[in-house]
């Protein structure tokens, strides 16, 4: 054993000294070996791995803050801004730098006058948040509030005031449904995109309408700011800033002034108005009212405002009625039916006698009057149901539906940003497919006067009118595009002229909209009124009175000038009780505006006085009323 | 080594220059770590060094080694009592207590014990008759002498110091000529018992060891120290970022940049070159202490100088291993470099005693020395 081996030599003073020297040399050698290993280790870290550690040291030292890009503007056909950016003063909290969460939130609540909802959200975000990712506290502060934070900034560790940009819609509610709105990205969107920009305060994405559809185009590229920070998060100095790149400018076909006028002219009514350029098919006004103010959404809409908008189930401010509102077109479909009847070979001069209705078997389909013998233009002028009942019965609706579709009714247009409901132009095959029932003659009679299964959106009505007026297969567009050759419709010019003469007489002859003649020299309006029943005829009521939501819709399609059509429009006033009564006067003023702005504005000014102010004023009052508050107009007294 | 001419041997100029270099370099780094200020660290560091250097020279030149040998057991016993004292004080106050406030610094008895254990063991083995060396009589008292302070320090709990006491003690036993197979056997048994020993450690100590084994697992928690230290050293490169330009230390990413991790603070600004120069200075110091041990005229002197060499080496090696991610974070400062009075006191005591060994000519020189 080892023991025996070591015991064998006698342990003497000399042996001990020798052992000590040997073992000390050994220990010294081991120490030198360890020292050498340490030197090698240090060389390895500082030379071989140097690059990696320099990078890590830099990433420690430098903190990259993203600057949200300014969104691209949205401009109308003249280059006027419909959506731009304004300076927004905002306050964020940097969680890492906050020392006392409860105190800082309480301080900010007092300084900024935050409401309970916001305080709760900030507390929640602050608990979840980690590191340097700022938590937004308030935006769109006024200079005074902002300054009140700036002067106390040293007492408020973690509070980061910033000057950013916010989306601004100068026309407010008038463009809400057209442009949509922007908002802060949701947690789901961040999960999907995995882009730190999505959690940068002040960054907004398009949430609806064109803002959403053209998001990649409008977004731009974020800038970045590099700062040197301590481990505790204190900024030592700013190093450099790379500016953001603004998003592209989106050019619309819309006429911003007309859009604004049309929206205002809708007044207190609920409805839609679409105006189309008969040369190009461009949509120059695209209005659905009432509407939310997209500025409110961009700032992060309050719960109360949301409840107010969402709670109006009669007038539905959140519904884009121009493309998502579906209505029976009523008599506005008669020009289309007339064109189909002509194309089927019927002589327009053929007279049908109207005794106040049409008998089909044992059912009597009523007309609005006793028109006596009427030819086709007269039938359009007077809106005689009997004429169209007789023709539909003779020809069958299957010969009318294809013409309606060619004119754009029931078509799902590829309109950027507008999520459409495109309705139905029925025929026998459709009914068989949908209800497994045979088409009946009474179905034809209902369909030909735009009732029954027929259901369309206002955009389609405007397009079909523009196509009749121009004779061209115009395709609608919200976006400005290069002029292109538009194909003509596969219908004889003669037939179209006959239909147009009927529409001319509706306004300028002895028709249903004579009260809405344009008060302009040499420019005449042609159109067709329509009244769409909300409840079936069987209910007995004609929908001319009673509860708002059971009243008939008023519709009007039109174009001008009559001799050389330039603009076409469709106006729908929900529950307006009649096309000539509710919709045609609106259309008249919109067309007046196109040719004589001053005259139209004078009319509008008078009207708005009666309605209680312009759109923002009325919305503010209505919202205040909803909140149970009243605006005290004597509040401000100038000394 | 800076050559020490024979004529000036009475005055250890080379040693003083080496010590001055290390402490002076330490002052520079502490000046930088304070953001370019002599306060709060660099100035006290320099002042302490001056006091302790004077103390070391006084010990080396005026206290005979024979006296130290005679007092070694008494000093050991006194410091053991102090260790009990801090343990009791800690128990009374609640929480761990490692130091006694003696005015200009906080004294850690455990630091003094690092010196006392070496002296006591050297005394024990110098008294032991040579024939007893391979017997159990040579082992038992030594184990008790090491075991008591090691256990007390472990209770504080201070793993690093306990290991330092054990390491110095074991080296003295080894150099005293105890049978080699005892150490081999104990080493094998120790490795086998590692898991059991590990279970005796406190939770936070266990965590440190585990994180040492895998620092990336917890980069923001306890592995943060090691990770940040490696970043500081690694980003320094060959010649460093320059004096006062270390971002890791100045922006507070490096924790304990003026005490345990001062080597990383230095390496960031002075690079590999600074590290090698400092390492060479330590090499000179240890070469001197080892030569003193080999040249010592008495057995007590031999064992004392060699044991204290190990004490100094243990500080340096464990601290450097720790800052380079080769050892767990155990809280051992870098001798004469880190800001801290206790460790400097210990090192300068070691230097003073070794100086006394060098000057001691009482014994007879042996042929194998």
Based on its alpha-carbon atoms, the radius of gyration of chain A, rounded to whole angstroms, reads 37
Q: How far is A105 from chain B (nearest CA, A)?
A: 27
Chain A residue nearest residue B183, CA to CA: A2
Beta bridge partners of A283: A276
Distance, in Å, from the CA atom of A222 to the CA atom of A191, rounded to the nearest integer, reads 19
Dihedral Cα A591, A596, A598, A600, nearest 10 deg: -20
Is B162 near chain A, with CB under 8 Å?
A: no
Distance, in Å, from the CA atom of A305 to the CA atom of A233, rounded to the nearest integer, reads 38
B23's tokens: 């402490």
Average pLDDT across chain A, whole number: 87
Q: What percent of chain B clears pLDDT 70, i.e. is strictly above it?
A: 88
The pLDDT value given to residue A636: 38
Q: Taking residues B276-300, report their average pLDDT.
A: 94
Q: Taking residues A418-432, report their average pLDDT.
A: 88
Q: Tell me if B368 and A41 make a contact (CB, 8 A cut-off).
A: no
Residue A333's pLDDT band, with cuts at 50, 70 and 90, is very high
Top-confidence range, A131-145, A433-447, A603-617, B276-290 = B276-290
Q: Taking residues A368-386, report their average pLDDT.
A: 91
Q: From the candidates A331, A444, A470, A477, which is the catalytic residue? A: A331
Model confidence at A445: pLDDT above 70: yes
Beta bridge partners of A84: A168
Beta bridge partners of A529: A556
The pLDDT value given to residue A101: 81
Model confidence at A397: pLDDT above 70: yes
Is B96 near chain A, with CB under 8 Å?
A: no
Q: Tell me if A2 and B237 make a contact (CB, 8 A cut-off).
A: no
Residue with tokens 């057991």: B73
What ipTM did this prediction achieve? Answer: 0.91
The pLDDT value given to residue A550: 83
Model confidence at A634: pLDDT above 50: no
B117-174 per-position pLDDT tens digit: 999 999 999 998 888 888 888 889 999 999 999 998 888 778 888 889 999 999 999 9
**B:27-56 residues touching chain A, CB 8 A cutoff:** none
Please name the helix (run of DSSP H) or strand (run of DSSP E) that holds residue B178, with its range, or none.
Answer: none
Using DSSP's 3-state secondary structure scheme, residue B221 falls into: coil
Q: Tell me if A15 and B282 make a contact (CB, 8 A cut-off).
A: no
**Chain A residues with CB inside 8 Å of B180's CB?**
2, 6
Please return the burial class of A629, using the count of CB atoms within 10 Å of its CB with bins 0-12, 13-18 and 19+: exposed
Q: Taking residues A222-239, report their average pLDDT.
A: 79
Q: Is the peptide bond before B157 cis (omega within 30 degrees of 0)?
A: yes
Top-confidence range, B108-112, B242-246, B347-351 = B347-351
Residue A95's pLDDT band, with cuts at 50, 70 and 90, is confident
Q: Taking residues B204-212, report their average pLDDT.
A: 74
**Backbone φ/ψ region at B47: left (φ over 0), alpha (ψ -120 to 50), beta:** alpha
Residue B7's pLDDT band, with cuts at 50, 70 and 90, is low
Model confidence at B289: pLDDT above 80: yes
pLDDT: which is higher, B111 or A534: B111
- Among A588, A567, A560, which Cα is nearest to A255's? A567
The pLDDT value given to residue A48: 92
The pLDDT value given to residue A143: 85
Is B286 near chain A, with CB under 8 Å?
A: yes
Q: Tell me if A35 and B283 make a contact (CB, 8 A cut-off).
A: yes
Q: Tell me if B368 and A17 make a contact (CB, 8 A cut-off).
A: yes
Residue B5's pLDDT band, with cuts at 50, 70 and 90, is low
B3's tokens: 């050559």
Model confidence at B4: pLDDT above 60: no
Residue A632's pLDDT band, with cuts at 50, 70 and 90, is very low
Q: Tell me if B130 and A15 make a contact (CB, 8 A cut-off).
A: yes
Considering only the beta carbons, identify the residue of B180, B228, B234 that sits closest to A45: B234
Is A79 near chain B, with CB under 8 Å?
A: no
Q: How far is CA A76 from CA A99, A170, A211, A280, B188, in A?
A: 49, 12, 14, 16, 86
Considering only the beta carbons, identify the residue of B133, B231, B321 that sits closest to A16: B133
Is B276 near chain A, with CB under 8 Å?
A: yes
**B:293-312 residues touching chain A, CB 8 A cutoff:** 293-294, 299, 302-303, 306, 309-310
What backbone phi and psi angles, to 5 degrees, belong to B195? Answer: -60, -35
Is A46 near chain B, with CB under 8 Å?
A: yes
Domain ranges of chain B: 14-359
Contact A592, A567 (CB under 8 A): no
pLDDT: which is higher, A214 or B361: A214
Considering only the beta carbons, identify the residue of B267, B293, B320 that sits closest to A24: B293
Q: Tell me if B235 and A2 make a contact (CB, 8 A cut-off).
A: no
**Chain A residues with CB inside 8 Å of B290's CB?**
24, 28
Model confidence at A9: pLDDT above 80: no
Q: What is the DSSP pairing of strand A271-277 with strand A567-573? A: antiparallel
**Chain B residues with CB inside 8 Å of A39's CB?**
275-276, 279
Chain A residue nearest residue B289, CA to CA: A28
**Chain A residues with CB inside 8 Å of B299's CB?**
16-17, 20
Q: How far is CA A495 from CA A61, A400, A469, B354, in A?
A: 79, 14, 12, 122
The pLDDT value given to residue A464: 95
Distance, in Å, from the CA atom of A513 to the CA atom of A526, rounded to the nearest integer, reads 9
Q: How far is B317 from chain A (nearest CA, A)?
A: 7
Beta bridge partners of A160: A92
Please return the burial class of B331, using the count of CB atoms within 10 Å of its CB with bins 0-12, 13-18 and 19+: middle
The pLDDT value given to residue B94: 53
Q: Tell me if A31 and B313 make a contact (CB, 8 A cut-off).
A: yes
A289's tokens: 């009212």
Which of A1, A57, A227 best probes binding to B when mutated, by most B CB atoms within 10 angstroms? A57
The pLDDT value given to residue B64: 92
Active site residue A331: yes
Alpha helices by DSSP H, listed for B1-100, are 13-33, 42-62, 65-93
- Among B47, B32, B4, B23, which Cα is nearest to B282's? B23
A246's tokens: 């603004």
Q: Tell me if B251 and A60 make a contact (CB, 8 A cut-off).
A: yes
A272-292 per-position pLDDT tens digit: 999 999 999 999 999 999 898
Which of A223-237, A322-336, A423-437 has the weakest average pLDDT?
Answer: A223-237
Average pLDDT across chain B, whole number: 86
The pLDDT value given to residue B227: 87
Model confidence at A538: pLDDT above 50: no
Which of A445-449, A480-484, B60-64 has the weakest average pLDDT?
Answer: A480-484
Q: How far is CA A442 from CA A259, A351, A451, in A?
A: 40, 21, 11
- Among A467, A523, A517, A474, which Cα is nearest to A495's? A467
Considering only the beta carbons, identify the residue of A18, A42, A231 that sits closest to B324: A42
Residue B221's pLDDT band, with cuts at 50, 70 and 90, is low
Model confidence at B216: pLDDT above 70: no
pLDDT: which is higher, A547 or A413: A413
**A:214-233 residues touching chain B, CB 8 A cutoff:** 228-232
Contact A397, A449 (CB under 8 A): no
Residue B2's pLDDT band, with cuts at 50, 70 and 90, is low
What DSSP string runs through A139-193? Answer: -S--HHHHHHHHTTGGGSTTEEEEEEEEEE-TTGGGGHHHH--EEPPPHHHHHHH
B314's tokens: 């243990």
Q: What percent of chain A clears pLDDT 70, i.e. is strictly above it?
A: 93
- Among A353, A359, A357, which Cα is nearest to A367's? A357
Q: What percent of chain A clears pLDDT 90, i.e. is strictly above it?
A: 47
Q: How far is A57 from chain B (nearest CA, A)?
A: 6
pLDDT: which is higher, A419 or B83: B83
The pLDDT value given to residue A2: 46
Model confidence at A3: pLDDT above 60: no
Q: Could you give the count of Cα atoms lying within 13 Å of A484 in the half-sphere of its Cβ?
A: 12
Top-confidence range, A232-246, A406-420, B32-46, B95-109 = B32-46
Model confidence at A398: pLDDT above 60: yes
**A:2-41 residues touching chain B, CB 8 A cutoff:** 2-3, 6-7, 10-21, 23-25, 27-28, 31-32, 34-35, 38-39, 41
A62's tokens: 């430098």
A29-44 per-position pLDDT tens digit: 999 999 999 999 999 9
């Amino acid at each position: 054993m080892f023991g025996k081996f070591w015991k064998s030599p006698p342990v003497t003073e000399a042996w001990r000294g020798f052992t000590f020297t040997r073992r000390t040399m050994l220990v010294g050698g081991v120490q030198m070996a360890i020292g050498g290993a340490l030197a090698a280790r240090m060389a390895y870290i500082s030379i071989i791995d140097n690059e990696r550690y320099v990078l890590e040291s830099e990433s420690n030292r430098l903190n990259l803050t993203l600057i949200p890009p300014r969104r691209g503007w949205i401009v109308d056909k003249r280059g006027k801004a419909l959506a731009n950016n304004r300076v927004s003063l905002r306050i964020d909290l940097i969680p890492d730098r906050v020392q006392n969460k409860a105190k800082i939130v309480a301080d900010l609540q007092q300084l900024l006058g935050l409401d309970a909802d916001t305080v709760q959200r900030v507390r929640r975000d602050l608990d979840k948040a980690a590191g340097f990712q700022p938590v937004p506290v308030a935006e769109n502060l006024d200079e005074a509030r902002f300054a009140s934070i700036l002067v106390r900034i040293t007492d408020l560790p973690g509070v980061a005031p910033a000057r950013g940009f916010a989306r601004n819609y100068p026309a407010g509610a008038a463009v809400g449904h057209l442009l949509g709105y922007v908002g802060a990205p949701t947690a789901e969107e961040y999960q999907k995109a995995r882009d730190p920009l999505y959690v940068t305060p002040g960054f907004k994405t398009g949430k609806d309408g064109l803002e959403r559809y053209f998001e990649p185009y409008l977004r731009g590229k974020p800038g970045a700011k590099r700062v040197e920070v301590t481990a505790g998060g204190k900024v030592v100095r700013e190093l450099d800033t790379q500016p953001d790149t603004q998003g592209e400018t989106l050019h619309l076909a819309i006429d911003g002034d007309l859009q604004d006028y049309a929206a205002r002219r809708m007044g207190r009514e609920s409805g839609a108005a679409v105006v189309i350029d008969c040369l190009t098919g461009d949509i120059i006004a695209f209005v659905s009212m009432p509407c939310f103010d997209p500025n409110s959404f961009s700032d992060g809409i309050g719960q109360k405002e949301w409840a107010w908008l969402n709670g109006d189930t009669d007038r539905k401010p959140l519904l884009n009625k121009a493309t998502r509102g579906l209505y029976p077109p009523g008599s506005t479909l008669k020009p289309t039916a007339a064109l189909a009847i002509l194309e089927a070979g019927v002589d327009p001069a053929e007279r049908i006698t109207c005794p106040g209705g049409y008998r089909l078997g044992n059912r009597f389909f009523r007309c609005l009057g006793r028109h006596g013998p009427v030819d086709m233009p007269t039938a359009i002028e007077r809106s005689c149901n009997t004429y169209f009942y007789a023709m539909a019965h003779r020809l069958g609706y299957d010969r009318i539906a294809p013409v309606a579709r060619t004119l754009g009714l029931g078509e799902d247009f590829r309109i950027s940003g507008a999520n459409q409901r495109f309705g139905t132009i029925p025929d026998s095959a459709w009914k068989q497919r949908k209800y497994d029932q045979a088409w009946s003659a009474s179905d034809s009679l209902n369909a030909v006067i735009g009732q029954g299964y027929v259901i369309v959106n206002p955009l389609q009505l405007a397009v079909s009118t523009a196509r009749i007026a121009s004779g061209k297969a115009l395709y609608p567009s919200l976006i400005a595009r290069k002029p292109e050759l538009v194909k003509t419709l596969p219908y004889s010019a003669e037939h179209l002229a006959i239909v147009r003469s009927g529409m001319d007489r509706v306004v300028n002859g002895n028709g249903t909209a004579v009260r809405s003649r344009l008060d302009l020299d040499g420019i005449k309006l042609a159109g067709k009124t329509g009244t769409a029943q909300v409840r079936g005829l069987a209910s007995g009521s004609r929908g001319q009175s009673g509860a708002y939501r059971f009243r008939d819709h008023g519709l009007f399609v039109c174009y001008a000038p009559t001799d050389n059509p330039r603009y076409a429009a469709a106006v729908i006033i929900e529950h307006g009780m009649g096309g000539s009564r509710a919709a045609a006067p609106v259309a008249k003023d919109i067309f007046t505006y196109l040719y004589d702005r001053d005259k139209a504005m004078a009319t509008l000014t008078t009207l708005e006085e009666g309605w209680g102010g312009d759109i923002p004023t009325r919305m503010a009052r209505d919202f205040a009323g909803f909140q149970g508050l009243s605006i005290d107009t004597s509040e401000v007294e100038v000394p | 080594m800076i050559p020490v001419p024979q004529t000036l041997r009475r005055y250890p100029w080379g040693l003083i220059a080496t010590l001055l270099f290390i402490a002076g370099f330490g002052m520079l780094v502490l000046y930088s770590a304070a953001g370019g200020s002599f306060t709060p660290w660099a100035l006290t560091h320099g002042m302490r060094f001056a006091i302790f250097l004077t103390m070391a020279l006084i010990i080396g030149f005026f206290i005979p080694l024979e006296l130290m040998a005679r007092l070694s057991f008494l000093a050991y016993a006194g410091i053991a009592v102090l260790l009990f004292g801090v343990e009791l004080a800690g128990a009374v106050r609640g929480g761990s207590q490692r130091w006694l406030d003696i005015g200009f610094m906080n004294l850690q008895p455990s630091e003094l014990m690092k010196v006392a254990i070496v002296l006591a063991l050297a005394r024990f083995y110098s008294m032991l008759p040579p024939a007893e060396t391979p017997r159990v009589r040579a082992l038992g008292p030594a184990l008790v002498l090491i075991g008591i302070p090691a256990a007390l320090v472990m209770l504080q709990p201070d793993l690093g110091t306990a290991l330092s006491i054990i390491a110095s003690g074991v080296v003295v036993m080894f150099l005293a000529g105890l049978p080699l197979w005892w150490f081999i056997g104990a080493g094998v048994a120790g490795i086998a018992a590692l898991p059991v020993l590990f279970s005796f450690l406190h939770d936070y100590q266990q965590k440190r060891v585990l994180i040492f084994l895998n620092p990336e697992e917890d980069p923001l928690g306890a592995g943060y120290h090691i990770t940040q230290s490696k970043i500081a050293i690694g980003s320094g490169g060959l010649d460093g970022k320059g004096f006062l330009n270390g971002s890791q230390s100045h922006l507070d990413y490096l924790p304990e940049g003026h005490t345990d991790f001062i080597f990383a603070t230095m390496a960031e600004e002075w690079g590999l070159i600074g590290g090698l120069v400092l390492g060479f200075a330590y090499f000179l110091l240890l070469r001197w202490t080892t030569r003193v041990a080999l040249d010592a005229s008495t057995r007590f002197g031999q064992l004392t100088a060699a044991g204290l060499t190990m004490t100094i080496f243990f500080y340096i090696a464990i601290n450097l291993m720790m800052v380079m991610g080769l050892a767990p974070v155990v809280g051992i400062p870098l001798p004469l470099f880190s800001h801290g009075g206790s460790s400097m006191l210990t090192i300068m005591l070691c230097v003073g005693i070794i100086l006394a060994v060098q000057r001691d000519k009482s014994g007879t020189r042996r042929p194998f020395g």
